[in-house]
Amino acid sequence: MSRAFRAFRVTLVCLVSLGASAALVVQADDGDKTRKPVVLVPPFENLAKQREYVMYDVPDGTSPDKPRRQYKIDRYTEAPRALFEDALTNIDGVTIVERKRVDTLLVEAEFGRLSGLVDPEKAIKLGKLIGANTIIIGTIVDVSEETKKFKGYNIETENVVVTAELRVRVLEIETGKQLFSKTVKGNKTYSKSTFGETKSSDRNFAAVKAAVAEIGGDEKFKAALLGKRATAEEGLIEIEFAPKPDNCDIAIDGEYVGGSPLKYKLKAGMQYKILISKAGYKEWATVVTPKAGLKITRELETSK
């Protein structure tokens, strides 16, 4: 038996067993017609400049002598994921796909790296294989520090504010629809003065943890996980696209929705990536949160 065939067989067994296991969870109560959330949390994407590499074990199973493989990964992709899983355990009715199983498939089936699975198509494909119906995709957008100093009255103080910006999306695997999207900031402040100081050996990650807590306590985030959906028109806000020149292409979260001028309804309280383009002009992108009366009138610059 060839090595390639053995690897394929092991991967196939993993896929079947994981899918069956998750399916049992979903069908545990035949009398309950409510969707049972089976949530997949893949590694986060890290766009910040901070990196901290650690060794990480992933179950293999292709060889009895080497049941695990070691990978060098960025801690900022794995640790936020663990924090999110801890937060999800406090939400009644939510089942989390076991992390080591997910990582085994990420490696064996080559869906992506162990450093962030942010491609929605790949993430949804992975979710279907293991029987999940909801996926959380997270991105650490930035981690920054701001220092403020004061000197006077024989006192010197220095405050360092560490801010972590985190974007989280919730996708429904069956349809690929985005149920929730939000960018939040978590802050931690450290002070130093002539009287003493507050310290942390891991202050950057403390800010990331604060951002995760912010999302974990969001009621709309919880509602999206539990499948509490609004009716077709409920919670929608109409925004107007009137960029210059006319007849620009409008894309929302990577999907073309029409040419300008355009009026389009979006869910309140969510964030959307907007891309406006036209041949002969530079593309313009932004992120918006729908609100009443919002009108986008950006004038595109000509290409040189």
Instruction: Give yes or no for residue 296 having a pLDDT over 50.
Output: yes
Q: Which residue has the tokens 């067994």?
A: 13
Q: Which two tokens stand for residue 263?
A: 């009026």
Q: How far apart are CA 282 and CA 224, in angstroms?
A: 36
Quick check: 217 and 184 in contact, CB under 8 A?
A: no
Q: Does the global pTM surpass 0.75?
A: no
What is the pLDDT at residue 73? 79
- Average pLDDT of the chain? 78
Q: pLDDT of 148-179, one tens digit each?
A: 888 777 778 888 899 999 999 998 888 888 88
**Best CA proximity match to 274, nearest among 248, 236, 235, 237:** 248
Q: Which of 271, 270, 263 is nearest to 294 (CA)?
A: 263
pLDDT recorded at residue 35: 62
Q: What is the rounded distance in angstroms from the CA atom of residue 59 to the CA atom of residue 68?
A: 4
* Pair 187, 161: CB distance under 8 Å: yes
DSSP assignment letter at 178: E
Q: How many helices (H) and strands (E) does the chain have?
A: 6, 16
Domains and CATH numbers, the chain: 3-225 (3.40.50.10610), 236-296 (2.60.40.1120)
- CA distances to 123, 149, 192 from 153, rounded to whole Å, are 57, 14, 16
Mean pLDDT of 52-59: 73
CA–CA separation, 87 vs 158, rounded Å?
33
The CA-atom distances, in angstroms, between 245 and each of 248, 251, 288, 302 are 7, 16, 21, 10
- The model's pLDDT over 242-293, given as tens digits with 9 standing for 90+, comes to 999 989 999 999 999 988 999 999 988 889 999 999 989 999 999 999 988 8
